[in-house]
């Protein structure tokens, strides 16, 4: 019998279940809108580029500038979270990026497009790594893969909801009230984030010691288990963080993960269009299919990883799936069936790879090094989030082969999967 299912584990399971019901619905909705505001530029691309005269290179650069800002401001943002507290800092970030995302509706030229995408990256830089720090402080390592997958399901869920929603807005609201469909999309999908930020300010606890809905015994058991985990982690300072080879190995692996995630996030609608699907509404509906498959697969992968207490193969496998799917979509860009098949496989792999990767860094990072370390890995890895959309845009403009960039990215993702097996299993697999 697995240790997670023994009678002795029942009290800890009840505590985790209570925490999950209290925290995860709000965090999940917040991250869904975070990712929706990040990727809706992909759905706006066709209308927006036609209206404003943007080339694929301009679009790719604007989409990627978000991640340059993300890389530069991730560590400072997480250090601010440590000083201010998660509740106030995350609420501030959300109100700011909600207003910036809404302001995209007024873009008229490339310079404004670049500026708003960069500022949106500054505002969002601390959200995902900040929430990871929160989850690491509320859940022990042996339960964290399922929880991280539950939180990160917002990434494919944003595609499931965002595809039909964005496509529907683009089609139904086009030229209504003197505004184009893409302008309505930014307005309708941006303003709710401001309200969610105010909800976070009211409802998110800074730590488990403050809440009244956990008993003293539950808090004591959580504190003891977290303390035991901290004693076995090798990196507990900024100096150790920068000088440890394993950290840079994790950066390289995360680079591959983000290549997979953001290739789909920013180019899936265009790839479906290129395969012969002309309607914005149809593109939105079809783009939801890979994300829906990703939702189911990532939850199963996270549960399997926790039950078997294994991390490396549960990350390597999804990365190889993502590479294979992206390569297939690039191999036959005019064949709708093969493109969709490739995107479904890639969506499953990329969706599962994201939460599975984030089981690795906390195994190395202790104490004050954890917030900075998670943000640093996230920041450096986000360079890939700039590279993927820009490389694809540049190669589509510069070569006669629209699928060549996808083949190059698939090779890079395979190399990242190989690096996963260099991570010591004895450190990252839960005890």
| Amino acid 245: pLDDT | 87
pLDDT-based confidence at 236, cuts 50/70/90? low
Q: What pTM value is reported for the model?
A: 0.75
Quote the CA–CA distance of 173 and 186 in Å, as a whole number: 12
Quick: pLDDT tens for 342-390.
Answer: 999 999 999 999 999 999 988 888 766 778 888 888 888 777 666 766 6
In the structure encoding, which two tokens stand for residue 96, read together? 């700011």
Residue 1: predicted pLDDT: 40
- Give me the CATH topology for the region 19-428: Growth Hormone; Chain: A; (1.20.1250)
- More confident: 277 or 18: 18
Task: Give the residue, 235 or 363, on which the prediction is more confident.
Answer: 363
The pLDDT tens digits for 286-301 are: 888 888 898 899 999 9
Q: Which tokens hold the place of 64?
A: 């990627």
Please give the structure tokens belonging to residue 243. Answer: 């000088």
Contact of 403 with 260, CB cutoff 8 Å: no
Instruction: Say if residue 117's pLDDT is above 80.
Output: yes
* Reported confidence tier of residue 10, pLDDT bands at 50, 70, 90: low
> How is the chain split into domains, by residue range?
19-428
CA gap 24, 68 in Å, rounded:
29
pLDDT band of residue 209 (cuts 50, 70, 90) is confident
Closest CA to 256 of 327, 316, 345, 341: 316
């Amino acid at each position: 019998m697995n240790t997670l299912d023994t009678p002795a584990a029942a009290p800890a399971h009840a505590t985790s279940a209570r925490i999950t019901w209290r925290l995860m619905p709000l965090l999940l909705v917040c991250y869904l809108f975070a990712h929706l505001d990040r990727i809706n530029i992909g759905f706006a691309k066709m209308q927006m580029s036609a209206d404003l005269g943007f080339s694929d290179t301009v679009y790719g650069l604007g989409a990627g500038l978000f991640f340059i800002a993300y890389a530069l401001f991730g560590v400072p943002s997480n250090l601010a979270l440590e000083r201010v507290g998660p509740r106030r800092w995350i609420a501030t970030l959300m109100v700011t990026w909600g207003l910036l995302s809404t302001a995209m509706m007024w873009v008229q030229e490339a310079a404004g497009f670049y500026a708003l995408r960069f500022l949106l990256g500054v505002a969002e830089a601390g959200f995902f790594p900040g929430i990871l720090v929160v989850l690491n402080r509320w859940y022990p390592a042996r339960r964290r893969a399922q929880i991280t997958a539950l939180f990160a399901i917002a990434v494919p869920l944003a595609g499931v909801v965002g595809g039909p929603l964005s496509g529907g807005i683009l089609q139904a609201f086009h030229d209504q009230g003197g505004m184009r469909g893409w302008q309505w999309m930014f307005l309708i999908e941006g303003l709710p984030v401001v309200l969610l930020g105010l909800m976070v300010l009211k409802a998110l606890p800074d730590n488990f010691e403050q809440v009244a809905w956990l008993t003293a015994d539950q808090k004591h058991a959580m504190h003891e288990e977290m303390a035991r985990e901290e004693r076995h982690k090798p990196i507990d300072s900024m100096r150790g963080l920068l000088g440890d080879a394993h950290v840079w190995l994790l950066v390289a692996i995360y680079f591959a993960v983000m290549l997979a995630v953001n290739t789909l996030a920013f180019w899936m609608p265009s790839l479906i269009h290129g395969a012969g699907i002309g309607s914005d509404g149809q593109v939105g509906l079809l783009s939801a299919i890979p994300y829906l498959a990703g939702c189911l697969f990532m939850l199963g992968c996270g549960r399997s990883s926790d039950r078997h207490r294994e991390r490396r193969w549960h990350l390597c496998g999804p990365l190889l799936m993502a590479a294979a799917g992206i390569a297939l979509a690039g191999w036959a860009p005019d064949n709708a069936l093969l493109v969709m098949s490739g995107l479904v496989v890639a969506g499953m792999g990329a969706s599962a790879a994201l939460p599975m990767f984030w089981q690795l860094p906390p195994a190395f990072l202790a104490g004050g090094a954890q917030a900075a370390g998670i943000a640093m890995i996230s920041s450096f890895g986000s360079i890939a989030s700039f590279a993927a959309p820009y490389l694809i845009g540049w190669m589509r403009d510069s070569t006669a082969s629209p699928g060549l960039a996808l083949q190059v990215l698939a090779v890079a993702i395979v190399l990242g999967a190989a690096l996963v097996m260099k991570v010591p299993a004895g450190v990252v697999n839960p005890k």
